[in-house]
Amino acid sequence: MNTFDMDLQLRIIISVAVIAIAYIIDFLCCRLLVPAIRKIASRTTFRWDDHITADGVLRNVFHLIPPVTFQTVLPLLFPEQTQWAEILSKVFSIYIIAIVCRLVCAFISSLYAISNETESLKNKPLKGLYQMLKVIVVCICVILTIGILIEKDFTSLLAGLGASAAVLMLVFKDTILGLVAGVQLSAHDMLRPGDWIIMERHNVNGTVMEVSLNTVKIRNWDNTITTIPPYVLVSDSFQNWRGMRESGGRRVARSIRIDINSIRFCSPEELASFSEEEWAKGTTLDKDTVNLTVFRAAAEHYLNSLSGINSSLMLMVRQLEPTPEGLPIQFYFFTTEKDWVPYEHFAAEVLEHLIASLPQFGLKAFQRPSGLDIPGNTNTGLTK
């Protein structure tokens, strides 16, 4: 065996030893140092360091030790640029790029987790922005890898990509539109996860679950999931109920149609009876007083007395335009109940009480006649 072969074998042995030692250090750091750092971070009063020191970040930092070590000693072990040295250099360079890509993506994920716990940012739809950053990082790493394989400079590859910008725009059209839409939604605070939105055109009526780069997930009230692109929320109009939840109450606008034939002037006996009621204080009662006027005053007093109504917001009882189905009397107020089920229960109880009190004022609710309303008709529609 000549001197050159012995020297080559020695270099190979040293290379293998260096790689083995580097991987042993990497293994020990991941098994011993990472848990220790995470334990120290968990004892601090801050939350952001728990995410920065997460496994995905620290482990990828230590995974850089073997390839960086070998890439550093490779020129010393193989000073002459042999074919094998060039191949090894490319392999470990690509390996380093892959580890750095994973490290940066893990760091971006940590930033997203930190923003979700930050009071001023947790309700912002920032997931699409972080996803776009990951896409950019991956694209840069792919370009660097291709440049190493074909031995081209990074800037020359970018110049080539610039010439094909139209094709890239077409391929990444949805991603670019999603990014722009996400920035607009976040900048103008148009949408947050947890918002209740309605888009009748797209059959959307529910709570926003997630706003990502390419999709917005909404859980409808029937527990179906609807996904729409973010740019649809910018190009089309939608109704966001967040303002209602953040306000002092949820609006109720219910109507009772009064039979016009039952509207009349109050009798002296009725006026005497009404004058003793608490709601009549401050109300002028004379021979020209109409029973519907008295009912509106009593209904408004009743609504103001309810604890479930926010009296600091708009509250009124008003007439709407008369219709062939009677004269609509609308009860307009805001209830402190905002969730769907208690809101509907409260509104129904209020309307039921008002309907039941109509006979006290000599009023009747309008109702289309049925067969039983016709005198002499005893046919109930049931067969024996």
The pLDDT confidence band at residue 95, using thresholds 50, 70 and 90, is confident
Between the alpha carbon of residue 223 and those of residues 204, 206, 271, 344, the distances in Å are 11, 9, 54, 19
Angle at 318 between CA 313 and CA 319, to 5 degrees: 155
**Assigned domain for 381 exists:** no
Query: What digits encode the pLDDT tens for the residues 127-158?
Result: 777 877 888 888 888 888 888 887 777 666 66
Nearest CA to 161 out of 181, 131, 194, 139 is that of 139
Considering the domain architecture, whether residues 21 and 70 belong to the same structural domain is answered as yes
Query: Domain check: are 176 and 211 in the same one?
Result: no
Domain that holds residue 234: 191-242
Question: Is residue 141 located within the same domain as residue 268?
Answer: no
**Averaged confidence pLDDT in the chain:** 81
Residues 11 and 48 in one domain: yes
Q: For residue 177, what are its two tokens?
A: 């539109």
Do 158 and 233 lie in a common domain? Answer: no
Instruction: Tell me, yes or no, whether 232 lies in a domain.
Output: yes
In this structure, what CATH number is given to the domain that contains residue 219?
A: 2.30.30.60
Has residue 148 been placed in a domain?
A: yes
Q: How many domains does the chain have?
A: 3
45 Cα distance to chain centroid: 29
Q: What is the pLDDT of residue 383?
A: 46
196 and 120 within one domain: no
**pLDDT tens-place string over residues 67-85:** 887 777 777 666 666 677 7
DSSP 176-197: HHHHHHHHHHHHTT---TT-EE
Of 146, 163, 185, which closes a domain?
A: 185
H helices present in the chain, as ranges: 3-28, 34-42, 48-52, 55-63, 65-77, 83-117, 127-150, 154-163, 165-171, 173-187, 230-235, 242-246, 268-275, 291-305, 340-356
Lowest pLDDT segment from 17-31, 65-79, 199-213? 65-79
**How far is the C-alpha of 96 from the C-alpha of 145, rounded, in Å?**
10
Any domain includes 377 = no
Specify if 384 maps to a domain.
no
Distance CA 300, CA 292 (A): 12
Size (the chain), residues: 384
Q: Which of the listed residues 140, 164, 185 is the one where a domain comes to its end?
A: 185
DSSP, collapsed to helix, strand or coil, labels residue 72 as helix
Indicate whether 226 belongs to any domain. Answer: yes
Domain end point (choices 201, 227, 242)? 242
CA dist 252 and 333 (Å) reads 5
267: domain CATH number is 3.30.70
Structure tokens at 269: 């006996």
Residues 264 and 226 placed together within one structural domain of the fold: no
pLDDT exceeds 90 at position 300:
yes
At residue 164, does pLDDT exceed 50? yes
Is residue 295 domain-shared with residue 254, that is, in the same domain? Answer: yes
131 inside domain: yes
Same domain for 230 and 144: no
* Residue 174 and residue 28 in one domain: yes
Are residues 176 and 204 located together in one domain of the fold? no
Give the pLDDT mean for 365-375.
73
Pick the most confident of 184-188, 268-272, 375-379: 268-272
Query: Is 72 in the same domain as 149?
Result: yes
Q: Which of 94-98, 166-170, 249-253, 356-360 has the lowest mean pLDDT?
A: 166-170
When pLDDT is cut at 50, 70 and 90, the band that residue 372 belongs to is low
**Does the residue 379 lie in any domain?**
no
In the predicted model, is pLDDT for residue 255 greater than 70? yes
pLDDT at residue 5 above 60? no
